Structures are given as C-alpha cells and as structure tokens.
Amino acid sequence: MYVGYFITDRKGVITYINDTIKKRGGFKEAELIGRNIIDLFPFDEIKKVKRAIDKVKNNEMVKFESKFLNKKNETLTLIFSVSPLVTEYGEYNGMQATTTDVTLLNETREKLQYHIEFEKKIIEISSSFINLQFSEIDKAVLNALNIIGHFNNEERLIIYILNSDHSSFYKSYEWLPLKKSRVDLYPDEINIKKTGYILNTLTKKEIVYFPDLTKLRADDRDKILYTGNTGTSSCLIIPLLIKNDMLGFIHIDSVLPRHRTEAERSLFKMAAGIIATTI
C-alpha cells in the first residue's frame, strides 16, 4: 500500500502533493499543482467526494474510499483521510489529506472471492453427478456447462470426445447463453491430424490457452483452431483425461481477447476433471 499526501486551498485547488501521489498517478508536479482535486475523480464518484468536502468545510474530519484516475486514465482505489485547514480566526481555508492505495488489496480480495465462489460451483457440479443413471448423463453434463458458462460469463463451451479408433474428435456437447448465438461454427467432427499442436499439449495434461489470437499470423491461427475462419479471438482448451488416457477436451472461446489468470485456469481444469469422470 502507498501513502500519499496533498493540500488544497479553500476552492479545492491543489497547492501541494508528495512524491507518492506523483509516482502512483504518473503525474509531474506541474500537471497537478493548480488543478482542482475534483478533476481527478471519475464522474460517478464526484457526488460522493463533494459530500465529503462539504463536511470538511464544516470543520469535520472525514474518511472515505473512492476511485481515483491516474494520468493514463486508469482507475486506482484509494482511502482518503481528510481534515480541514483553518485560519487563525477559525475559518475554513482548505484541506489536507492522506491517501492509502488499496488497489492491489481490493484486487486480491476480488480474486479470492472469485476462487471461493468458483469452487462452490465445482462442488455443486460434483454433487449433481452422484448416483446418476445412464439416461441422466447428458442432462447432467449440459447442466455443468451451463453452471460454468453463466458463472464465468462465457460465450461458448464445447466438449469434443475422441472416437473409438482415435482418428477424430466429435462434438458431443455444446453450450451457448440463452438469447445469444454465434455465427461462427465449429465442426461436428475434427480430424485428429488437424490437432497436432493442441493434442501434444493436452496429452501432457496441460491447458492450451491463447488470450489474444489476433496477434498470430493467419496460417498459425488456423493450425491452432483446427478449423477454418472463425470469429474467435481467445480460446481456452482443457484436457478431459481418465487417469492418463485422453478422453477429449473442453473448448471455450470468445469473440474478444480475454485474459485468464493461472488460478482461474486451474479451476477450469478441476471442473474438467470432474466432468471427465462422468462422460
């Protein structure tokens, strides 16, 4: 966490800032001195900040959390502790504030909460697979894809299963959000010869992940996606394994590039392991 300090005059114009605010905000001193402090807050935070300043003008000390914009227009999360500056006659003459940067702390909390909630969904899926009848398997697997898809705001999930002679993968299950469709289609069957790179990676029990396929050359992109032209910009391909035997894979893709953390990918792998025991 980083602690900053600034002073404003009675109109809210910045008269002093310390090095921490300059460094974290990416500003030079001349870019901040003379600006109104309100200018550095996102639009949706301004009412809250003005209410806090009004209290300070009434000689109150206030503490609040707010978003704050750096020079690149990126959002930081800061805790402000603000106190009034007064003249020798007790009149309001400006304010001083310390700022504590909790951006990374909040991001860590969000990631932890996501991890906990995703694990709950995986447990929900695992519980639904207990004592299934053969006739119930398809419905249970589609329900599992539905749970994962909605929780992670996915655009499409496909399960491909390796056929008995190991010559191709066939599309066994596909999930799309309700009221949404994709005009780009993946084939019902994929010749295993078209999956060289992916197959080699999956058989090592590793995930294939491309956050932004648009950065690749067209011919490399086609090799990776084992099909013709699609609208896919990001894909996550997770092996379905029974012990060390390849059963198939789960294909997840999106139209826009999408970054997924290593922890997130590990949770997908955990979910895939549970689904593999049922198919």
Whether 51 and 181 map to the same domain: the answer is no
Beta-bridge partners for 250: 159, 238
Looking at 74, 101, 128, the residue that finishes a domain is 101
Q: Tell me the three-class secondary structure of 92-144, residue by residue.
A: EEEEEEEEEECHHHHHHHHHHHHHHHHHHHHHHHHHHCCCCCHHHHHHHHHHH
Q: Measured between alpha carbons, how far is residue 46 from residues 41, 43, 49, 65, 197 in Å?
A: 6, 5, 5, 12, 51
Identify the CA nearest to 209 among candidates 253, 167, 246, 170: 253
Quickly list DSSP for 168-211: EEEEEEEE--TT---SS---SEEEGGGGHHHHHHHTTT--EEES
- Which domain, by its residues, includes 155? 105-276
Q: What is the pTM of this model?
A: 0.67
Looking at 101, 126, 157, the residue that finishes a domain is 101
Residue identified by tokens 């809250």 is 48
CATH of the domain at 196: 3.30.450.40
Whether 74 and 212 map to the same domain: the answer is no
Looking at 85, 101, 117, the residue that finishes a domain is 101
Whether 36 and 94 map to the same domain: the answer is yes
CATH of the domain at 65: 3.30.450.20
Whether 160 and 25 map to the same domain: the answer is no
Whether 97 and 13 map to the same domain: the answer is yes
Whether 219 and 243 map to the same domain: the answer is yes
Q: How many residues in the chain?
A: 279
**Looking at the 3D structure of the chain, how many domains does it have?**
2
For the chain, give me the number of helices (H) and strands (E)? 8, 11
Per-residue pLDDT of the chain (279 residues; tens, 9 = 90+): 557 899 999 999 999 999 988 888 899 999 999 999 999 999 999 999 999 999 999 999 999 999 988 888 888 899 999 999 999 888 999 999 999 888 888 878 888 899 999 999 999 999 999 888 999 999 999 999 999 999 999 999 999 999 988 899 999 999 998 766 666 778 888 888 877 778 888 888 899 999 998 887 777 776 666 655 567 889 999 999 988 888 999 999 998 899 998 889 999 999 999 999 998
Whether 116 and 90 map to the same domain: the answer is no
Whether 139 and 249 map to the same domain: the answer is yes
